[in-house]
Amino acid sequence: MGMPISIEIVGSTASKDLFDLVYDYFTYVDNTYSTYKSDSEISRINRGLPRQQWSAEMKEVLAMCEKTKEETGGYFNIEHSGQLDPSGLVKGWAIQQAAELLYKRGVKDFYIEAGGDIQVRGHNAQSKPWQVGIRNPFRRQEVIKTIQIHTEGVATSGTYIRGQHIYNPHHPDSPITDIASLTVIGPNIYEADRFATAAYAMGKKGIVFIENLKGFEAYMVDNHKQATLTSGFERYLAT
């Protein structure tokens, strides 16, 4: 789905087979869920593939999308102009599934990033917590905050790299212009990513939505270059 992917495995468990396993899995996800590939399952569904021919996994993923829509008051909505695009959930879900593949094979310390969304476990090569930088959406080469995590997922939503690809489903013709980026820390990347997408679609109200989600923290930069943090975000800041 046009995403750069980075994987780091720490320790003696690292092997080419493990990297191949994860990259092969992401290739499978791309071939199944990419709306840019005419032969993907989601593209065939959008052309009218009968529901009885959908895979069990596809039905599960679309059910998760519907659940997220309900949990976010409709701000997460994969249907646009009569077409389904679950990529706002699939990216984080796929990273989480890839992390589980590594964990089940005994890998205790790793970092997976796909399209700017991150899942870690354990420690980095210096036996310290993994550190993740939050970029300045107005100067992308500048890191404005550095956080440290052990098992959490980190997802950033914004339009400063890919342009206006996120929209408010309640006002689909009005671009989101009041915030530049929203970074969400969650218990895992699946949860962080799906709620980051929805919260960004809410505009400035999104940071309040995350504040009220138990187990989540967020850092928002608005289009006036002002930052707003949830009440527990600072505990993740690297010292």
Q: Which residues contact 114 (CB under 8 A, 6 or more apart)?
A: 3, 4, 5, 6, 26, 91, 94, 95
The pLDDT of residue 86 is 96
The pLDDT of residue 2 is 74
The pLDDT of residue 235 is 97
- Longest C-alpha distance within the chain, in Å? 54
Q: Which ranges of the chain have pLDDT less than 70?
A: 1, 159-168, 170-171, 173-174
pTM of the model: 0.92
Cα separation, 110 vs 224, in Å, equals 36
Q: Parse the chain into domains and list their residue ranges.
A: 5-236
The pLDDT of residue 169 is 72
The pLDDT of residue 11 is 87
The pLDDT of residue 167 is 60
Cα separation, 182 vs 194, in Å, equals 12
DSSP 42: H
Which of these, 21, 46, 25, 24, lies nearest to 35 by C-alpha position? 46
The pLDDT of residue 39 is 97
Overall fold of domain 5-236: T-fold (3.10.520)
Cα separation, 72 vs 164, in Å, equals 20
The pLDDT of residue 1 is 64
Provide the 10 A C-beta neighbour count for residue 24. 12
- φ, ψ for residue 130, nearest 5 deg: -65, 140
